[in-house]
Amino acid sequence: MPQNETISELGLDEYKYGFITEDKPVFKAVPGLSRDIVRQISTHKEEPRWMLDFRLKALDIYESKPMPDWGGDLSTLEATLDQIYFYLKPQEQMERSWDDVPQEIKDTFERLGIPEAERKALAGVGAQYESEMVYHSLKEQWEEQGVIFESIEDGLEKHPDLFRQYFATIIPAADNKFAALNSAVWSGGSFVYIPKGVTVEIPLQAYFRVNAERMGQFERTLIICDEGAEAHYIEGCTAPVYSTESFHSGVIEIIVKRGARFRYTTIQNWSNNMYNLVTQRAQVHEDGKMEWLDGNLGSKLTMKYPSCYLVGDRAHGEILSIAYAGDGQHQDTGGKVVHAAPDTTSQITSKSISKGFGRASYRGLCKVYDGALNARSNVECDALLLDETSRTDTYPYIEIDENTASIGHEATVSKVGDEQLFYLMSRGMDEAEAMAMIVRGFIEPVAKELPLEYAIELNRLIELEMEGSVG
C-alpha cells in the first residue's frame, strides 16, 4: 500500500463485517444455560457417554466458580448469559464441498473472502457458523501425508483414542470459570493432528462467524503437533453489530511434541458487542517451539492470555500480542509462560494502542519453577495512547523460584510525539498521514510476522481508525 495514501482515498466503511445474514437454523436451543441444554447439545452430536458426563461435570464446576473479580467489567455478564443462545445448529451436516454449503451461509463467507483465500494460499480451511463447523476441507497433498484437519466433532467420532488421550489434558474443565463453561457446552472448532516429521508449509485456517443475535459461540480446538512436525494455524473471527451483547468463549489446547514447531495466529475482529473470553494454552516438549501471534482488534471486552507451558528441556515459547482498543473497547490481553524444565526460553512482546475511550491492559505471567535451570525469559510491553481519554494498564506477574533463571520485564507508555509528527509534516505529509505512519511503525514488529493478507488488513484498519484522531 502506498505510504502516502490518505484515509479518505482508502474508502473503507466503519466495521465492514457488521452485516447480518437472514438464516434458517435447523435447531435453536432456548436461551440460557441448563442441564437440559447440555444434554441436548450432546444428543445432537450423538456423543459417547463419557463426553456427556464430562460436560455435566464441567457445568457443575462452572456453577461453583465465582465470576472473576479482576480483568474487565463482568458485572452485567451474568444477566447477559441468561439471554444467550448456547447452541444454534445452522445446518444438518458439515460439508466437504463448498457448493453444498447453504447459499446464505456461503454468501456470508464469500463476503468475508474465505473461499478466495483458500484457493490462493491455504492448506486447509474450516468455517464455523454459529455453533457448528459448516465446512471443513484439507488439500489432498496433506491428507496423503496423514495430516488430520477435521471439525472437533469428527475428531471425536473418527479418532476416538487420539482424541481422548489429549482432550482436556492441557486445559481441564476446572482451569477457570470460562474453561468450565466451554467444557460444558462446547461446539465446533478444529481437531488437528500433524504426524511425525511432516511439515505443512502453508497455513491451515479456521474462520469463525457469529451471525445470530444474542449468540454464544463455544468452539473447542485440539491440536497435536507430533515429533519434529511443523505447521501454522490461523483463526479469524467476526460478527454482526447488534445492540444486544454476544458471547464467545473458546478453549484451544495444543501439544507441541519433541522437536516440533507450531504457530497459532488469531486475528480477532469481533463486533463491539461481543464478550470474548478465551483460554489458549500450549504444552511444549523437549526442543519444541510454540509461537502465539495474537491480534485483538474487535470485541467489547476481551480477556485472553495465550500460554506456553514449557515442560521439556530447551523448549521455547513465544507470544506476540497486539491489541487495539477503540471507543468502548477493553482489551485485557497478554500472555503467560511457565518454565518447568531446564534451559527453556521464552519471549513475550506486547504492543497496544488505546484510542478515544478505549482501554488496553497487558496482563501476563512469567513463572519459573525450582529446578528449571538456566531458564531465560524476556517480556517487553509498549503502549501507545492516542487521546487524553484513553487508558492503558500493565499487570505482569513474575514469580521466580529458581536462582539460575534470568528474567527481564520492560514496559513503556507514550503518546505519539509532537516532534515525530512535526518531522513527518515538515516532509510534506498531513497530520493524519503522519499519525498513521507512526502507528504503523509502532506495530511493525508484530505486523511483519503476519501473513500478508492479514498484515494489509491490519494496516488498513489502523489507517481507518486514525481518521478523526487528529486535532
Partner 1 sequence: MTSRRANSAPAPVSGALASSDFSPLVPGVDDPPEVARARAAAWKRFSALPWPTKKSEAWRYTDLSAVDFGALTPVLHGAARAAAADGDGSLPEEARGVLARSGDRSGVVVLRDGQVSHIRLEPEAASEGIVLCSIRQAAESHPDLLRHALFEADPAPAEEKLWSLHIALLGGGFFLHVPRGVKLGAPVHAFHILERSGTLSSSHSFVHAEEGARAAVVDEFLTGGAAGEGDAGGGRNSRNGAAPRLDSVSLHGASVTGDAGSVVEYVSLQRFGPGVRHFSTQHVEARNDSRLVTFNVALGGELSRADVTSLLAGPGSDSQMLALWFGDSAQHFDHHTLQHHAAPHAHSDLLFKGALADKGSSVFRGLIRVDKGAQLTDAYQTNRNLLLSKQSRASALPNLEIEADDVRCSHGATIGQVEDGQIFYLMSRGLTRGQAERLLVFGFFEEVLARLPLEGVRERVRTAIEEKIGL
Q: Which of 252, 253, 258, 296 is nearest to 278 (CA)?
A: 252
Measured distance CA(351)–CA(356) in Å, rounded: 17
The reply on whether position 390 binds partner 1 by CB under 8 A is yes
The reply on whether position 241 binds partner 1 by CB under 8 A is no
The reply on whether position 404 binds partner 1 by CB under 8 A is yes
Among 397, 423, 441, 444, binds partner 1 (CB under 8 A): 397
Q: How far is the CB of 352 from partner 1 (least distance, A)?
A: 11
Q: Which is closer to partner 1, CB of 393 or CB of 453?
A: 393
Among 143, 393, 431, 467, binds partner 1 (CB under 8 A): 393
Q: Which is closer to partner 1, CB of 27 or CB of 395?
A: 395
The reply on whether position 407 binds partner 1 by CB under 8 A is yes
Among 412, 423, 430, 456, binds partner 1 (CB under 8 A): 412
Write the DSSP assignment of 256-317 as a string of letters: E-TT-EEEEEEEE---TTEEEEEEEEEEE-TT-EEEEEEEE---SEEEE--EEEE-STT-EE
| Residues in CB range of 442: below 8 A, 6 or more apart | 351, 353, 382, 384
How many Cβ atoms from other residues are within 10 Å of residue 25's Cβ?
18
Question: Residues for the chain: how many in total?
Answer: 471
How many Cβ atoms from other residues are within 10 Å of residue 76's Cβ?
10
How many Cβ atoms from other residues are within 10 Å of residue 162's Cβ?
16
Q: How far is the CB of 118 from partner 1 (least distance, A)?
A: 42
Here's the x/- map for partner 1, 15-54, by CB under 8 A: it reads as ----------------------------------------
Q: Interface with partner 1 by CB under 8 A: which range of 55-63, 215-223, 268-276, 386-394?
A: 386-394
The reply on whether position 395 binds partner 1 by CB under 8 A is yes
The reply on whether position 385 binds partner 1 by CB under 8 A is yes
How many residues lie near partner 1 (CB under 8 A)? 34
The one-letter amino acid at 388: E
Binding to partner 1 (CB under 8 A): which residues in 318-377?
A: 370
Q: What are phi and psi of 442, to 5 degrees?
A: -65, -40
Q: Which helix (H) or strand (E) holds 183?
A: helix 177-185
The reply on whether position 5 binds partner 1 by CB under 8 A is no
Measured distance CA(452)–CA(355) in Å, rounded: 25
Q: How far is the CB of 395 from partner 1 (least distance, A)?
A: 5
How many Cβ atoms from other residues are within 10 Å of residue 8's Cβ?
9
Among 202, 241, 398, 470, binds partner 1 (CB under 8 A): 398
The reply on whether position 76 binds partner 1 by CB under 8 A is no
The reply on whether position 403 binds partner 1 by CB under 8 A is yes
Which residues, listed in sequence order, are joined to residue 254 by a DSSP beta bridge? 223, 282
Q: How far is the CB of 459 from partner 1 (least distance, A)?
A: 23
Among 3, 165, 244, 389, binds partner 1 (CB under 8 A): 389
The reply on whether position 251 binds partner 1 by CB under 8 A is no
The reply on whether position 116 binds partner 1 by CB under 8 A is no
Task: Give how far the C-alpha of residue 242 lies from the chain's centroid of Cα atoms, to the nearest Å.
Answer: 21
CB 466 within 8 A of CB 440: no
Measured distance CA(62)–CA(78) in Å, rounded: 12
Which parts of this chain interact with partner 1 (CB under 8 A)?
70, 370, 383, 385-415
